[in-house]
Structure 1
Amino acid sequence: MNAKTRAAALRHYRRQQRITRLTVNDVQALWRLLDTSDLSRSWESGIGRRMAGVVGAGQLASARLADDYVDEVSEAEGADSDRAGVVRPSAFAGLAADGRSLESLLYLSVITTKESIGRGLGVEDAMMRGLRQALTLSGSEVAQAGRGAVGASMVGQRTIQGYVRVVNPPACSRCIILAGVEYGWNRGFQRHPRCDCVHLPTTLIARNQNRRGYIDPDAYFTRLSHAEQDRVFTAAGARAIREGADMNQVVNARRGMYTTSAYGRTLQATREGTTTRGFFYRQERARDIARGRAPADVGREYRLTTPRLLPEQIFELADSRDEAIAMLRRFAYLT
């Protein structure tokens, strides 16, 4: 990205963060007005409605940034504007991302508080737990409204061909491996609660070029202390990456995690990479063909007979570093 594009993305990110921060501050102030002796009644007396209004206003403010941001990026990349339509900010405000009312969504934090008290947690600690949930929900809904509006604006600006995912540290492992990945204009923005990533609209998509966002995943990992590496990627995952394992394989492996019986013991394995298009599947098929265990033309008829072990299971089984490296390569974490 050029300097102007980077500056535009930074300004947009800071504006979004400011709106989110102001919203959660107001939500916190309203939360403190709840009567702990009767949470539901005080919520229904108007606090819930006011809290939903605050979040809705944050959504609206966030969505209003979209067109200016997309147009600024388009101009920074030297493209002439070709707008087919503009964003209607109100369409991104007033409801939660899953379609329910904001008040209904935010009431989950009251339910969490009451359940915590019912399980014996002190009132003050239970209220803090509920507040944390309310702040997470509020911030996520404001951010999602902004992302949704940017996505719509990109479609309306014909010069925009797609977007780059920009990751803002500190970030989780799921986001770090996606830093700089490019997507077409019609690809939805995958996110999770507290996700801090943003779109960087682009006028040119260069498939598989991975223009890095503000961080390069490998460089970011290297800059972290060992303790932070372990916290973000798990101890076993971080160790595997330090040994040279592919970061994407390590992080994605945890998505399909399961427990299985093999080699006479219970093991932790993953289904990630084991479909017919998966790297581990293709590696195993080639391995069995080379060893004469499967015909050369087996194609998709090939069936895996070996579970793909997780990195932590590999470390538990390996007797030496050399063996661990060999197993990481065997199970497609190292190339």
Structure 2
Amino acid sequence: MQLNSLTEEELKEVAIKYNEKAFRGTQLFNLFHSQQKTDLNGSNLPKKFIEELEDKEEIANVKILEEYASKLDETKKLLFEFDDENIVEGVLMKYKHGYSQCVSTQVGCRMGCVFCASTKGGLIRNLTPYEMLGQVYEVEKKYNIKVSNIILMGSGEPLDNYENIIKFLKLLHNEKGHNTSFRNMTISTCGVADKIYDLADENLPITLAISLHNTNNISRDKIMPINKKYKIEDTIKACKYYSEKTGSRITFEYTLIHGQNDSEENALELRELLRGLKSHINLIPLNPIEEYDEKRPDRGQVESFKKKLEKLSLTATIRRELGSDINASCGQLRRKYKRGGTSEVCSSN
């Protein structure tokens, strides 16, 4: 395991293993997560200890490979590169309340949702806790900001990398490190029901967002292969358990595909699915990709479906689109970069 993916207690054990006092582990933790450094040289650690760690242990590095800055707002899309030259992407968004960052949890994805660019190359590997943390740290250092809200909604299915994302979130929450409130963290999942139960039992007040995108099993099976394993009813049952356990409201992400999931019948089915569940529906107009060039609804069609939901006493909002000129939806820029594409809004790090 990478040194900078370890907890303070684990780093203390590392120090003791090398015949150092336990407090050297605390110094390492502060170096990695308070000072956000990966270079041990220049620290107050003993030279011999540094040499042993550099010789026998791994320290992960994350670097910003490319930056794409929107000309429409202050949104930035970033490509991050790891030590093995794998690439993921993330989004930095500025709101009145501060900065939010979408963080990737895997290189690629194996979920196979037909409208998502991230999954087209399949899953390459999981990210380690530090490879997720490093995305946040590098953004903060580059722009001299503090990121207040974290959304696991970049490339990858977070609950398919469960142990690493839990460790990442706890490290991010640590008061000696980033000190982010769990309430300012969101996990977006396509519905890995058994892991939703596990997450509820962690008893962390993290916001849960479900990528629902359709209202019945027949239609959802066609666009989201996960539904063949965990039917809509299974996912909703898990969500009710999560909401009751944590006292939180569940967000349902609903990508609107014109003529496929925006009918009166869909609205009625959605009401029945969410009956008795504290919920909020986030409507997202489809962002077509080459492999799934279905029709994107216009603003009027989106507003029309929103009104259908509101008439049924469902709470719904339309996602504010940021960075629309830089393909700020997961997977698109990474695929373009790997194919050798360029962008007029790209500035190299």
Task: Give the TM-score band, short-chain normalised.
Answer: under 0.3
Q: Which has the larger radius of gyration?
A: 1
TM-score by length of 2: 0.24
TM-score by length of 1: 0.25
Q: Give the strand-richer structure, 1 or 2.
A: 2
Structure scoring higher RCO (CA < 8 A, sep ≥ 6) equals: 2
